[in-house]
Amino acid sequence: MVVYSIVIYFIYFGLLIYIIPSSALNFDLYERKFRLLPSWFKLISIFWLVLAIIAVVVFRDAIPNRKEVLISVFNFSLFITFFSRQKFEDEFSEQIRFKAFTYSFVSFVAVIGALSVGRIADLEGREWSNLIVQGFMGGGLLVATLYFYFTLYKFRKEDN
């Protein structure tokens, strides 16, 4: 599992470097665009998710933290799907993606902040697990991805 964690760690940072442009420190928020992955990366994310589910089912006794691995793979697949280009990418889809990402990020920060304050007041000594944090991160990514695709679908359906 250490190798998996290291590989995913470097893949996330590689994707971060690719998606955020080099001019990220000097930009106007309204003119900034993410550099998106090619659309065929969605297929890679689905393949990665199916492969991980099969591996967890087949090697269930060899993987002690199956839930965390599945949530981690699910989050990674959502990340790739969210930042993959549409077949017909236009300014509207870029605006919807940025809006969905902003809502997701603000929600994630607010929930983690609220839970952190609750943790400070908690005298029973319960600790957050990686599973809880990854669950919130995945929930934010899921909401952003669903918002993006449903909004895009709704507006494109109205145009036809």
Q: pTM, whole model, 2 decimals?
A: 0.75
pLDDT band at 104 (very low <50, low <70, confident <90, very high): confident
User: Tokens at residue 18, please?
Assistant: 């690719």
Spell out the residues 6+ positions from residue 115 whose beta carbon is closer than 8 angstroms to its own.
128, 136
Residue 140 has a CB neighbour count (10 Å cut-off) of 22
Length of the chain: 160
Look at residue 47 in the predicted model and tell me its pLDDT.
92
Alpha helix stretches (DSSP H) within the chain: 2-19, 41-58, 66-82, 91-121, 130-159
- Distance between CA atoms of residues 149 and 100, nearest Å: 10
- Distance between CA atoms of residues 97 and 82, nearest Å: 8
Identify the residue with better confidence: 129 or 92: 92
